[in-house]
Amino acid sequence: MRIRRRRDTAPAVRSRLSAGDLARESLAGILQRPGRSALTMLGTVLGIGTFVVVLGLSETANGQISKNFNALLATQVTVTDTGAANATTPTLDFPSDASVAADRINGVIAAGVWWQVLLGSATAAQVSNLPGDDAPAGVNLPVYAADPGALRASQPSLANGVLFNAFDQAEREPVAVLSAAAAAQLGVLGAASQPTVFIAGQAFTVVGIIRSDSRLPQFGLGLIVPASTALADWGLPQPAQPAQMIIRTRVGAAQVVARQAAVAIRPDDPGLLSAAAPAAPTTLRNAVAASLRTLLLSLAAVAVIVGALGIANTSLVAIMERTAEIGLRRALGARPGHIAAQFLTESAVLGLGGGVIGTGAGVVITLAVTVAERWTAILEPTVVLLALPAGAVVGLVAGLYPALRASSIEPAEALRR
């Protein structure tokens, strides 16, 4: 064979690496050590997967939080007796028809006044199931005064018996509703036989026992007596435990009711009362969701950084192992830029692969959790679409330093190794 030579000078020729060759050489480099490539990809899989799961679950949880807030807080208004705050003697700034006045506000379902009864300075009263001074020492239990409207508004869960009613309130009947905890302590097994308990020596007939109260959980710890009876027996509420009104509203009406309550109840001096509007559900929900998302995104960012460091570390090790190959490629005419491009492409492809697998795994995990919890899965399509190239970007950034290291290796030195 005769070699035909062109008559050009040395620099007239060019060293080149086409896009197709770059892709093929990079793919071959990845497949050269499939196990290590898979492990390298795992870092991105975990990082991107965590990102997708975090965003998916936080969006889904957002919807759940909204439901819960709508069900409870968004339908409740609390009116406090601010006039009592500056008082030194027992005070009650709610008029006797306060519940009726509140009931007239559009959107109110039920409303009533309640307070904790203080006998002397003690927050708990001596309660016994036996009369007289000779009775053994009773138990200390908190006693609450409430009008029937307060019980209708707070909706305690009734274990047995009944709640006292408007008649009991009007007639100042000595009746009491026990919490299940108080009943257990007093040895009261049920309300059917209408047992009697003694509060500071005064007899009260137990008409009902409640399990719990989700709106006024303190009712689940003691005894509740009609407000009128408490006023007659123990006087006005102490300044330390001023009266409050609980108002249950229809969904969406709480904000409006809160603005109108003070004027409706005390048109003569609304400044004595203060209606606490519940946090706007959307604001509260967004605040909670934002906090949750920030926390989880921080964790996901850490996972991505760890993944990127994994790629960078493995790439650096790979470059050390492939030093002779780098030397050979340089001897065959590769420029430093060609070497950098190849290693960068390998990192980007590994990152992209990790992004694709991580996104798929993230979507599956998000769906699995929401199905298990019977939630409605909410996943932004943009999250999924952005997660895919994000993997490639992570790979590119992580591969930058190793690629520059590879391109700076001197060919003769590489071939000597």
Binding site for another protein (CB under 8 A): 1-11, 13-18, 20-21, 25, 28, 31-32, 324-325, 327-336, 338, 410-412, 415
Q: How far is the CB of 1 from another protein (least distance, A)?
A: 6
For residue 160, the cross-strand partners are: 209
Q: Which residues neighbour 70 within 8 Å (Cβ) at sequence distance 6 or greater?
A: 251, 281
Which one, 266 or 329, has the nearer CB to another protein? Answer: 329
Q: How far is CA 369 from CA 51, 58, 301, 366, 385, in A?
A: 15, 12, 21, 5, 21
Amino acid at 240: A
Nearest to another protein of 63, 411 (CB atom): 411
The CB-of-402 to another protein minimum distance in angstroms stands at 20
User: Residue 218's Cα: distance from chain center in Å?
Assistant: 24
Between CA 156 and CA 179 the distance in angstroms is 10
For the CB of residue 3, give the shortest distance to another protein in the complex, in Å: 5
- Nearest approach in angstroms of CB 317 to another protein is 18
CB of 313 to another protein, least distance (A): 23
Please state the closest distance from residue 316 (CB atom) to another protein, in A.
20
**320 vs 377 by CB, closer to another protein:** 320
The least distance separating another protein from the CB of residue 40, rounded to whole angstroms, comes to 17
Phi-psi region of 107 (alpha: psi -120 to 50; beta: other; left: phi over 0): left
- Would you say 194 or 408 has its CB closer to another protein? 408
Rank residues 22 and 73 by Cβ distance to another protein and give the closer one: 22
- Closer to another protein by CB, 8 or 268: give it: 8
90 with 238: CB under 8 angstroms? yes
Minimum CB distance to another protein smaller for 182 or for 414: 414
Closest CB to another protein among residues 113, 334: 334
What's the rounded Cα separation, in Å, for the pair 107 and 264? 13
For another protein, the closer of residues 59 and 325 by Cβ is 325
Q: What is the C-alpha to C-alpha distance for residues 194 and 206, in angstroms, rounded to an integer?
A: 5
Q: Which pair of tokens denotes residue 332?
A: 């065959």
CB of 7 to another protein, least distance (A): 6
Rounded to an integer, what distance in angstroms lies between the CA atom of residue 356 and that of residue 51?
A: 12
Q: How far is the CB of 29 from another protein (least distance, A)?
A: 10
Residue 116 half-sphere exposure toward CB, CA atoms < 13 A: 19
**C-beta closer to another protein: residue 174 or 411:** 411
Dist. CA 192–CA 208, nearest whole Å:
8
| Least Cβ distance, residue 28 to another protein (angstroms) | 7
Residue among 32 and 78 whose Cβ is closer to another protein: 32
72 in Cβ contact with 214 (< 8 Å): yes
Q: What's the min distance (Å) between Cβ of 346 and another protein?
A: 15
CB-side exposure of 363: number of CA atoms within 13 Å? 14
Instruction: Give every CB contact of residue 170 below 8 A, 6+ residues apart in sequence.
Output: 228
Helix residue ranges per DSSP H, 1-116? 19-32, 34-71, 98-103
In three-state secondary structure terms, 94 is coil
Beta strands in 73-201 (DSSP E): 76-81, 108-117, 125-128, 139-141, 143-146, 157-161, 175-179, 196-199
User: Given the structure tokens 């006044």, which residue do they identify?
Assistant: 113
Question: Distance between CA atoms of 349 and 352, rounded to whole angstroms?
Answer: 5
